[in-house]
Amino acid sequence: HQKLEREARICRQLKHPNIVRLHDSISEEGFHYLVFDLVTGGELFEDIVAREFYSEADASHCIQQVLEAVRHCHESNIVHRDLKPENLLLASKTKGAAVKLADFGLAIEVNGEQTQWYGFAGTPGYLSPEVLKKEPYGKPVDIWACGVILYILLVGYPPFWDEDQHRLYNQIKSGAYDYPSPEWDTVTTEAKRLIDSMLSINPSRRISATDALKHPWICVNAAVSATGIQSTTNGKKSSSSTGPISPTTNPIMSAPASGGNRSRATTQSGGSSAIKESGDSNSATIDDTNDIERIDRLSLEITKVTEQLLQAIANSDYEMYKSLCDPKITCFEPETIGNLVEGLDFHKFYFDTVLSAKASKPTINCTMLTPVVHTLGDESACIAYVLLLQYIDRNGQAQSVRTEETRVWHKKDSRWLCVHFHRSGMPVAAAIKSSFSSTLF
């Protein structure tokens, strides 16, 4: 139910001619319904197989519409996470009908260009390297999938394939694909360059949807070869969009069979291809359904443990502070004049002197403002926030000091420990020296 609510919330934000539109969501007698546009054209790849002629210009027009949909999603801070041929539909059977992006069941809401670990989700052949490596990710994962789709649109088979999923994932993580002959011999260099820019294993270097739409192969029809990529007069010739095709057949796309099965071409004697239906673990959508909830839970844990640490400082409770820190904690802060400090000796010194009960200091109220947590897997996280320190000076006037802090936490033996922090600005003690000599860290 929560997953459907999230999908409905996301779909309500998306209004674009290349996205299947949500009209209503209904809950009735324990059942939940999402009412979308009536889309009657079937899957895009089914239409391509049925065509008598298919050119680079056609492929360019198809991927352009997909990129338009993706750009709208990304401008709305939505990441689809499951872009693949099955989710590209045609609005109607009419010639030239619009391509529609569907199925936002795995879609997530993101914070601009920031990255985070949102869980392992998608379809194996279309997963990006950063997802497979379980690294923080964001909008570029959709562009990677677009690159895989464009590759398939042009030759009918995917850039990455192996029966063994472990080997498949290694191919993807290393970006091990090529443009084999003869299928790629007639494909233009510009098309290959666009694919390369989409399939960069470094997400920060991967082209954006906006920039991809400006690519010459997309926006300048004259740059696209009108040479037919394939003849589809023989409707029985087909190959899976996620499996290898026989090198003796023309590269033609086919939609996967229903029920999660895929068509896979196998080479037969005589140079023909035969289709067999089989369950394919590499084509099944993966969804760690609890990941988003888990991330929310981890973010709450990190926020709370950071508040506990700040409270220990405010209360001059070194034992509590020590229990929340790794013994080899590192830090950069103004009090150390830019030096990297390792271990707790420096911290103990401040608790024993500046934060000592005997030291003259005001009662300081600590407030953590605008905390942002980035989870780095199940056992690591980073939190950044503004720390507001409020106190009454010796003249009875209210004063405040703001500092910016970042803390890195790591879970060891089921306990969160602060392993590093960094504070900017001037030393807190100097900031309030006109009233009292005190510092917090």
Residues assigned a catalytic role: 82
- Looking from the CA of 173 toward its CB, the CA atoms found within 13 Å total 12
Q: Is 421 exposed, middle or buried (0-12, 13-18, 19+ CB in 10 A)?
A: buried
Assign 290 to helix, strand or coil.
Answer: coil
User: Could you tell me which residues come within 8 angstroms of residue 57 by beta carbon, excluding any fewer than 6 positions away?
Assistant: 221, 224, 225, 226
Matching residue, tokens 């989870």: 375
* Contact in structure between 195 and 155 (CB atoms under 8 Å): no
Assign 266 to helix, strand or coil.
Answer: strand
Beta strand 121-122 with 286-287 is antiparallel
* Contact in structure between 89 and 17 (CB atoms under 8 Å): no
Gap between the Cα atoms of 241 and 261, Å rounded: 12
* Contact in structure between 245 and 267 (CB atoms under 8 Å): no
Q: Which of 67, 72, 68, 66 is nearest to 86 (CA)?
A: 66
* Contact in structure between 292 and 360 (CB atoms under 8 Å): no
> How many whole angstroms from its chain centre is CA 1?
23
Structure tokens of 21?
């539109």
Alpha helix positions (H), 179-317: 189-198, 209-213, 216-219, 291-314
Gap between the Cα atoms of 347 and 297, Å rounded: 30
Gap between the Cα atoms of 184 and 172, Å rounded: 20
* Contact in structure between 197 and 42 (CB atoms under 8 Å): no
Alpha helix positions (H), 14-81: 44-50, 56-75
Structure tokens of 215?
């690519």
Burial of 316-342, coded b for 16+ CB within 10 Å and e otherwise, reads bebeebeebbbeebebebbbeeeeebe
